Structure 1
Amino acid sequence: MTKSSIAPLLAQALAAVGGSLDVRVEAEDDLDIITALYAEVRHAELAPLPWPDKAKRDFLDAQCRLQRDHYARHYAGAELLIIERGGQPIGRIYVHATATEIRLMEITVQAAERNRGIGTCMIRALQDEAARRAVPLTLHVEPANPAQRMYQRLGFQLIENRGVYDFLGWGPGMGNGEWGSGQAASCS
């Protein structure tokens, strides 16, 4: 598999959403963007803690670094992509595709860009690719994450509760039909 096998599929799907959306390969100088996205998603979890703001920022920065280290260690060869609107970063999507599985490792979109079909469209593109390859599409998600509704709507099924995460799957052998709710529909 080449380094850019998933990126063109996602770029094509995003073009159907419109609004100058695209993906590009993550670069080393994207660390500030990645850290800010991570903090935006996780900040509410720390709100009840009586920590100073700087301690919360430092904690989130450290957690983001640990997540990146984990991904590098366990998902060698993954495609780490930045989602852009008009050339400006608005999110990230990380995908690890092997001969037996496509793993959606991470999908994060800035709050101001959510509920516009961006995540749905990219996941449908991954479902299409999983169906083409005849492999499952899998992911981990926290049980209380609002994205759970989107995953259910797209035909994902719970494979296993792994404590802090639910492990979800879509595709053959997932208890959701041969290909979940059917092959992914157009994003337009």
Structure 2
Amino acid sequence: MPAFPIEHPGTTLRPLTDADQPFLLHLYGTTREAEMQATGWTDEQKAQFVRMQFDAQQRAYFAYPDAEFFLIEQDGVPAGRIYLQHRQDALLIVDISLVPERCGAGIGGAVLSAVFAQALTVGKRVQIHVERFNPAQRLYQRMGFRLVEDKGVYLFLEWDGAAVQAASV
């Protein structure tokens, strides 16, 4: 699937390239900042740990069959990433992340809306695993994701466009 249009001024998706790896490492590091502050480690130890975890995450994500990996750009500048796996009956959001300075600006909601539109065109649901304490969970709930399964640390959520459309009739 080619990168699909995002209805948010200046926001685009493009396939990842090797040149994006430094940004992706930085982005991953921002998702672990609070945790790293509590360790008491040196900056070098924190950087080594984040690098090791990032590399492991990348290997796991790139092993997903039928997956696509996009960089989210805002006005031509990297702002985040979204990784999607095409399943038989659903689009699984493997990961969606934005750098902290871009959160709350409507980018995440616009990207999710574009994923929803894509899912509707192919008759699929949209699924995502989210950590229980992830603040983005509020966005997911506002956008119509519903809890499918509590997996302890993670919640498995789903958006069903057909059900949303039927409820609005």
Using structure 2 for the length normalisation, give the TM-score.
0.91
Q: Select which of 112, 115, 127 maps to 1:123.
A: 112
Alignment of 1:35-114 (within 5 A): 35-73=25-63, 75-114=64-103
In structure 2, stretches of 5+ residues that fail to align are none
**AA aligned opposite 2:140:** Y
Q: Which residue of 1 aligns with 2:144?
A: 155
The percent identity for this pair of structures is 32
Change (3 A) 1:180 1:37: farther
Instruction: Give the Cα–Cα distance (whole angstroms) in 1 for the partners of residues 167 and 96 of structure 2.
Output: 22
The 3-state SS of whatever aligns with 1:179 is helix
Amino acid at match of 2:19: D
1:179 equivalenced with 2:169 (yes/no): no
CA contact (8 A) 1:156 1:180 kept: no
Tell me the SS of whatever aligns to 2:35: helix
Q: Could you report, residue by residue, the CA deviation over 1:127-149 in whole angstroms, capped at 9, with x for unpaired residues?
A: 12222322210001101000000
The alpha-carbon deviation at position 42 of structure 1 amounts to: 1.2
Query: Which residue type is aligned with residue 36 of structure 2?
Result: L
Amino acid at match of 2:164: W
The separation in 2 between residues aligned to 1:25 and 1:141, in whole angstroms, is 23
Judged with a 3 Å threshold, the aligned counterparts in structure 2 of structure 1 residues 146 and 182 are, in CA distance, closer, same or farther, namely farther
Deviates more, 1:122-131 or 1:111-120: 122-131
Once residues 124 and 66 of structure 2 are traced to their aligned partners in structure 1, the CA distance between those partners, rounded to angstroms, is 18
Structure number having the greater strand percentage: 2
Residue 87 of structure 1: CA displacement? 2.1
Partner of 2:156: 167
Aligned to 2:130: 141
Runs of 5+ unmatched residues, structure 1: 184-188
> Quick one: structure 1 residues 156 and 28, their matched pair in 2 at CA, closer, same or farther if it must change by over 3 Å?
same
User: Which 4+ stretches in 1 moved above 4 angstroms?
Assistant: 180-183
> What is the RMSD of the two structures over their aligned residues, measured on CA atoms?
1.9
CA separation of 1:99 and 1:113: change in aligned 2, threshold 3 A: same
Shift of 1:118: 0.6
Kept in 2, the 8 Å contact 1:35–1:61? The answer is: yes
Task: Tell me the amino acid that sits aligned with residue 33 of structure 1.
Answer: F
Aligned equivalents of 2:71, 2:43: Cα separation in 1? 27
